[in-house]
Structure 1
Amino acid sequence: MNRLILSYAFCIVFSSLIASCAENIPETTNDFKVDVCIYGATPAGIASAISASKLDKSVILIEPTVRIGGMVTNGLSHTDFHSFEALSGTFLDFTQRVEKYYSNQYGENSKQVEDSFRGTFGEPKVNLMIFQQMLDEHPNIKVIKEASLSEVRISNSKILSTEFKRGENNLKLQAEIFIDATYEGDLMAMAGVSYTVGREGKDVYNESLAPDTTDNQLQAYNFRFCATEDPANRVEVKKPYGYDRNDFVEILPILESGVFDKVFGYPPQKAIYKAHLPVNPNNKFDINDMSKGIVRLSLPGKNLGWPDGSPEQRKEIFEDHLYHNVGLLYFLQNDSEVPEKYRTDAKNWGWCKDEFVENDHLPLQLYVREARRMIGQHIYIQKDSEPVGEDSRAVFHESSIATGDYGNNCHGTHHVGPLIGGMHEGEFYNPVPPYQIPYGVLLPKEVNNLLVPVAISSSHVGFCALRLEPIWTSLGQAAGFAAALAIDSKKNPDKIEVDILQETLHEDGSATIYVGDVLPSDSNFEVVQWWGAQGGLHQLNTTSKPGQRGKNIVGQYYEAAPLHDVNLEKTLEPETKDRWIVISRKIGIQDKDLNILQQMEKRGDFIREAYNLTH
């Protein structure tokens, strides 16, 4: 831990003396040269910038929109994870800061602190503020907003420079390493990296969740609104441009049938708009598409032009989704033919007066669940998040640089029948054990100085396990450290020592394997994570029912996944000790030291001693 802390402290204290720091670039210039250039200030991009900065690298973080934070500051306040034990690294730091904000602002025992759900449910404006504060702590990170990629120059499999359009100006930028943290993979694509859009057929990767044949279907998009029933902070829903009630009348017979309990609700209630529970702080709700519903906000098929689309095409798709998502609610609130029960319920809701004030209280980004997917050095597929045999854990990845616990999740890729009242197809929700993510998903084949932590290398089914903000943030954190280590070692990112990258992540509190009982705050965290990276935590427990979750807390959130504890104080079983001795020999521990390990009686003592013998 000392190496990372000292490096971080050195950069903070002496950043004004570092000639390469981005803060020293004159504001008037349009030409930049830095260590690391990151395109996309999504949570992954922010994490990349912070981790590269912690290792003394100068960073430029370029965001094409006016707001940093991606979907986490654009309405996605109900973060997708299943257990708190799955959160680590930069994302955990972010949530702890959110919780601390509410504690400082409203009191430690306030309703706002409770509703923040340990800081994982933050108001969009609060999430934005926290991300900005995190970046502000690093003076060698320069953030540029409203700049769109226009050109990438390549030579000998390396990106030499990039150019960005910002208003009437062109920004030219050189860097040692580039990171594409956009949801769409725009830098990756412009750099000539191989990618795919659509779904692979079952025969391509032998995935049971895949369709029979390959097609161009794409997971559906919708908006994540921030809404409230609080009259003091409620803004009425305005009629969208071009509104025509005839576009929404198909819902009338569905309402008359009484199939819906209400307009806004959360399963098992039957509702049109999913209002996530628990409620967010200050009586705000994250509004989403209702999974498996008969009336949907998501529009599969309407988004096919987005991944490779021009700015004009994307703008049209954005406006089509906004029209449907907002227009439907306006219809429910105001049309005289809507049954009074539903009209009254709908009228109780509105946008939050203090959110998205620069955009008429509407999010500035569409929820792009899936766009391009890189074809990189490791293609993450369905089996990468499934167990082998009866092991309670998912398949072991020796080069793991992040974890997840959500499972493969798709809101649908195709719609049959009428837009309102039809049915989505291609929808699935597949529980799996917590899983590891190998380093190769970040690495393209064609370009040597690029890392891609969001449009990652994966199949459609595999991507549906990785497409979550906490996971993307962890992947971004790994990308930032990998970029810095590559620069320091004068190697391409795919040639760095992955074990050094893993230990750097562990030092920074980021997990590479899920452990339910040894969390980042535990003094044993780094040691246990290191042992997990050697394969020592696999086969500790077996089960005939993989993918079990802990006791339900509320909604989609659960206690720690069972059979994923290390139990450091547990007596070391002979068969486990024998297996751990084999691992110890494999990683280079000599016979004389193996004798010491043979004397260990508890799991924790063995792991700590093995760590000490190798460090």
Structure 2
Amino acid sequence: MTCSIDDGAAIDCEEGPDLGRVAYADLSMGRHRLTVRMGKTGAMSEASATWEIAAPDVVVVGATPGGISSALAAARAGRTVVVIESNSKIGGMMTGGLAKSDTGGGGAGEKALGGITREFFDRTRDREIAKGACSNEYPCPIYWDFEPHVAAEVFADMLAEQPRVFVQSGVSSFTVVRDGAQLKRLVTARGDVSAKVFIDASYEGDLMAQAGVSYTMIREPRLSGSDGVDPAGIEDDAGYGGLVTPPYGRSVDPFLEAGKPESGLLPFVEPPPAPEKAVGSADDKLMAYNYRLCVTDDPDNRIPFARPADYDPALYEGSARVAQAAAAQGKPLDELYFNPARTVRSTNPRYFKGDLNGGSAFSTDMTSPVWNQAYADASSAGRSAIEAAYRGYIEGLLYFWQTDPRFGALNAKVARYGLCRDEFVDNGHWPYRLYVRESRRMLGEYVMNENDVLRNGRRAPIDDGIAMGAYSADSHIRRITWATISVGGAPARPTVVTEGFRIIRLPGFEPYPIAYRSLLPRRSEVENLLNVGTLSATSMAYSSLRMEPTFMMIGQAAGTAASMAAQANSAVHDVDVKGLQARLVADGQIVK
């Protein structure tokens, strides 16, 4: 059996016992003709059909958890949705290794999570119980944890239940056509797609940037106004934080040859900032990126960490020096390094799977001017090169930790683990997604800042809340450099330091409302775009907002608002917020 579309080249159809199928991976609107030829040579019969692809009501860029929630909410409200995803897989970080969900400490997540987000977690837990990964005999640690492939199955099921949602993955680039303050259509290699309302749910803010919406990538200054200015814009913890954090409180020489500045700096150690740089001043440093690895010590499900083809142990000299300094002070290295957080049971329920995240300097987290700092503005090829660099670096680091004798007992600990055989099976068991913790951030109708997150009274209470943030402000390191300082009372000497890490807990672990206005571009710029993944927030506020369950809740609000705007043919700025809040509450969302 062969098929052709619009008189194109004949292709093999997918055959089943009673039917045949052909995949149509195109977005071009209009009428299309499919011709199917069946039978044996000399006895072929032909059938044809014509169908029409109409413009959807809503286009979502990014099949991330936030994007999927957006699509589900709009579809459940009766709208037709097209989702465009650059990756070959859907689900973003939740299907890409981040299985230890960041829901918020002290019960904050329990207070905040509802609607589609809660439904997702209920379904993942039910599936984990059904497959035996969690049971009375083998309980799992946390309700909100899961396996990446189970998250992928649940997202696929939820989307399959909505015939109004059409997902196009592997769409690596697009351009935006607009008319005044209206986005009209996206131009892709698979055709053009137009809509009434667009939603940017990407981690990089690509739609926002292409649409000409104002955004920033700076770390805002601590003091945003002069004396006498209303303090609403002041963030006590914003801006450059100074260089005061040696890794694990140890002094580590930063030079290739210890004590010799002329030999150059260790890999990934940047030159110090200018001496006149003031604490609290602005800069362009973003949080470190990494891959969130799914690992296990289950011998039946473990793929050992292997030596990468381009392995260069010199890249990891900084990590070895930190280890030596810690060991000299009696710190057990197998406690200091490599501590994957347990998620659910492995195929052998006596063992767990774990989510391996980054830590201090020279961990799986890494920051570099040519890596995470350059990622957002890189081309598709440039981003792929940065992703490959991160993968090679982390693969090499894991091999280094299990083979370099300076790590002592850590060698055996890391060697007991490996990648999970049943995860990412078509990608060498490596996660599909680089963890882009921070990228562009929109400058919209309302910029959420630290005062909104902490609810400290400096700003008026948010009355247009559409979801609740529940996680602490959690900023990973932004720079590895060096400074001449005293560590542990020893004489001052050049030592490696990190800058940017800070955690600020929510007062009383109470969630805070997220303003609908923070999803809106400035009205003068675009009237039919909502932003989920790179919403309008300062870097400090974003370090709390950036969690995947939070993105899902924001996504549900965006999808619901997009449905209301599409139905009324209005700007997203004109959506009745009280009506939006009422719909969200009726659908299980928690808004205050």
Same fold, TM-score > 0.5, yes or no: yes
> 1:298: which partner in 2?
365
Secondary structure at the aligned position of 1:297 is classed as: coil
Note if 1:127 corresponds to 2:151: yes
Give the drift of 1:237: 1.5
Deviations 1:6-37 (A, max 9, x none): xxxxxxxxxxxxxxx99999697997511111
Separation in 2, partners of 1:362, 1:27: 40
CA contact (8 A) 2:59 2:197 kept: yes
Note if 1:102 corresponds to 2:169: no
Note if 1:172 corresponds to 2:189: no
Separation in 2, partners of 1:93, 1:387: 28
> 1:38: which partner in 2?
60
Separation in 1, partners of 2:432, 2:52: 27
Q: Residues 275, 24 of structure 1: CA spacing in aligned structure 2 closer, same or farther, 3 A cutoff?
A: farther
Give the drift of 1:139: 0.7
Secondary structure at the aligned position of 2:67 is classed as: helix
> 1:315: which partner in 2?
384
Separation in 1, partners of 2:375, 2:361: 25
Separation in 1, partners of 2:468, 2:565: 22
Please give the TM-score of this superposition, normalised by the length of structure 2: 0.76
Q: Name whichever of 235-244 and 278-287 sits farther off.
A: 278-287
CA contact (8 A) 1:385 1:395 kept: no
CA contact (8 A) 1:306 1:317 kept: yes
Separation in 1, partners of 2:151, 2:575: 33
Give the drift of 1:329: 0.6
> 1:238: which partner in 2?
306
Deviations 1:536-589 (A, max 9, x none): xxxxxxxxxxxxxxxxxxxxxxxxxxxxxxxxxxxxxxxxxxxxxxxxxxxxxx
Can you give the 5+ residue segments of structure 1 that lack an aligned partner in the other structure? 1-20, 264-268, 514-615
Deviations 1:433-491 (A, max 9, x none): 31000101110111111111110001111111200011110111000000000111221
Residue type matched to 1:202 in 2?
R
> 2:168: which partner in 1?
144
Residue type matched to 1:99 in 2?
R
Separation in 2, partners of 1:185, 1:22: 24
Give the drift of 1:342: 2.0
> 2:479: which partner in 1?
414
Separation in 1, partners of 2:29, 2:123: 25
Give the drift of 1:110: 4.0
> 2:17: which partner in 1?
none
Separation in 2, partners of 1:26, 1:457: 40
Given candidates 376, 379, 384, the residue that maps to 2:447 is 379
CA contact (8 A) 1:122 1:280 kept: no
> 1:52: which partner in 2?
74
Instruction: Report 1 or 2 for greater relative contact order, CA contacts < 8 Å, sequence distance ≥ 6.
Output: 2
**1:474-489 map, 5 Å:** 474-489=553-568
Give the drift of 1:399: 0.4
Separation in 2, partners of 1:124, 1:25: 38
CA contact (8 A) 1:121 1:281 kept: no
Residue type matched to 2:236 in 1?
S
Q: Residues 262, 339 of structure 1: CA spacing in aligned structure 2 closer, same or farther, 3 A cutoff?
A: closer
**1:329-478 map, 5 Å:** 329-335=398-404, 337-388=405-456, 396-417=461-482, 422-432=496-506, 433-445=510-522, 446-478=525-557
Give the drift of 1:243: 1.1
CA contact (8 A) 1:228 1:234 kept: yes
Given candidates 38, 62, 74, the residue that maps to 2:96 is 74
Secondary structure at the aligned position of 1:160 is classed as: strand
> 2:336: which partner in 1?
270
Note if 1:87 corresponds to 2:107: no
Residue type matched to 2:573 in 1?
D
Q: Residues 184, 340 of structure 1: CA spacing in aligned structure 2 closer, same or farther, 3 A cutoff?
A: same
Give the drift of 1:116: 6.2
CA contact (8 A) 1:395 1:435 kept: no
Secondary structure at the aligned position of 1:33 is classed as: coil
Equivalent pairs, count: 473
Q: Percent identity?
A: 32
> 1:286: which partner in 2?
355
Can you give the 5+ residue segments of structure 2 that lack an aligned partner in the other structure? 1-26, 35-50, 225-232, 240-279, 484-494
Residue type matched to 1:435 in 2?
Y
Give the drift of 1:199: 0.4
CA contact (8 A) 1:149 1:162 kept: no
Deviations 1:505-529 (A, max 9, x none): 001100001xxxxxxxxxxxxxxxx
Give the drift of 1:240: 2.2
Residue type matched to 1:328 in 2?
L
Secondary structure at the aligned position of 1:319 is classed as: helix
Separation in 2, partners of 1:456, 1:399: 15
Separation in 2, partners of 1:138, 1:125: 21
Note if 1:206 corresponds to 2:234: yes
Secondary structure at the aligned position of 2:287 is classed as: coil
Q: Name whichever of 359-368 and 303-312 sits farther off.
A: 303-312
Q: Residues 23, 470 of structure 1: CA spacing in aligned structure 2 closer, same or farther, 3 A cutoff?
A: farther
Q: Residues 402, 131 of structure 1: CA spacing in aligned structure 2 closer, same or farther, 3 A cutoff?
A: same
Deviations 1:195-236 (A, max 9, x none): 000201112231111122111111111110000011110001
Q: What is the root-mean-square deviation in Å for CA atoms of aligned residues?
A: 2.5
Q: Residues 57, 122 of structure 1: CA spacing in aligned structure 2 closer, same or farther, 3 A cutoff?
A: same
Residue type matched to 1:249 in 2?
E
Given candidates 42, 47, 62, the residue that maps to 2:84 is 62
Give the drift of 1:395: 6.2
